[in-house]
Amino acid sequence: MDKNAKIYIAGHRGLVGSALMRNLCARGYANFLTRTHAELDLTSQAAVEAFFAAEKPDYVFLAAARVGGIHANNTYPAEFIRDNLAIQTNIIHAAYKNTVKRLLFLGSSCIYPKLAPQPMKEEHLLTGPLEPTNRPYALAKIAGIEMCWAYNRQYGTQYLAVMPTNLYGPGDNYHPENSHVIPALIRRFHEAKLASAPNVMVWGSGTPRREFLYSEDMADACVYLMNLPDEEFARLLWPAGSPLESCNLGLAPLVNIGVGHDLSIRELAETVKDVVGYQGKLEFDSSKPDGTPRKLMDVGRLNAMGWKAHTGMREGLARAYQDFMAANTH
């Protein structure tokens, strides 16, 4: 991407979008297009098309989405499928109509089949039943990947989807019920520490295994991919070498982003407890659903392109806790 290119980051205030902004700024990019939700409703087709027609971005990072943990997905399934379908459909089509050079669509590892082989490869998408607790969200995101694929085939666009593993980091959502596991644990242990609570209850049995990626590393991978030379970028769009063969083999324009190793929720909770400095007892509520037993990404494709994650788990958690403290100190 040329340093003067006009770059639109949809969702620039969120965990992913803000990390992308910081990474791009550090690399010398400055010509950003950003709009808050109040300024631009991405679920409105007319508003999105007017914005693209007026601003003509060169590159698009599609990081805007309705996201949340198990509780939020269970409670608001209609919003999760409706809003995500609308946001991605409006942006992808407007990008095509206004000849955007490259678009990066943010998927999520949670949309792979519930019992996908481990570690999960890109070609495992749509090979088995989804996790019921977040199926509306997963179906919307899968439709977005398919839409990128279809537009590349029919219109010759260069739209790549990436599949980050579970993310955490600066700007995360620390809501006690609607957040993901790491920010929820950080908040819970911090509040328990302040209250000198004797114990903290963690949702589920603690046995599922998960992979976690620091958001700054994720952003670095995304920008790295968007800056690949045309020939290397084309190989990601058509992994089998040609559009026809890639389609026949079911190989989507998709790249996993992760660290390549996992840990149990119990191990994670113990590490967060230690980082926060909570001295009480850790307990697990096995009556609550665990979700998928294991989700580990195969990051061989990304590693082969020359990129690897570099932030360790404890280091990332310490930074995330500092961010939480800064956001909650009045």
The residues annotated as belonging to the active site are 137
Q: What are the Cα distances from residue 1, in Å, to 6, 95, 103, 163?
A: 9, 16, 12, 21
What gap in Å lies between CA 28 and CA 26, rounded to an integer? Answer: 6
CA distances from 74 to 128, 135, 146, 287, 289 (A): 21, 9, 24, 16, 11
Both tokens of 231, joined, read 């020939």
Name the 3-class secondary structure at 174: coil
DSSP 62: E
Distance from C-alpha of 175 to C-alpha of 196, rounded to nearest angstrom: 21
In whole angstroms, what is the distance from residue 239 CA to residue 42 CA? Answer: 31
Strands 209-210 and 263-264: antiparallel
Dihedral angle, C-alpha 182, 184, 186, 189, nearest 10 °: -130
Q: Distances in Å between the alpha carbon of 242 and those of 138, 153, 234, 238, 253?
A: 27, 10, 9, 6, 12
**Letter for the amino acid at 144?**
G
Q: Say if residues 136 and 78 touch (Cβ distance below 8 Å).
A: yes
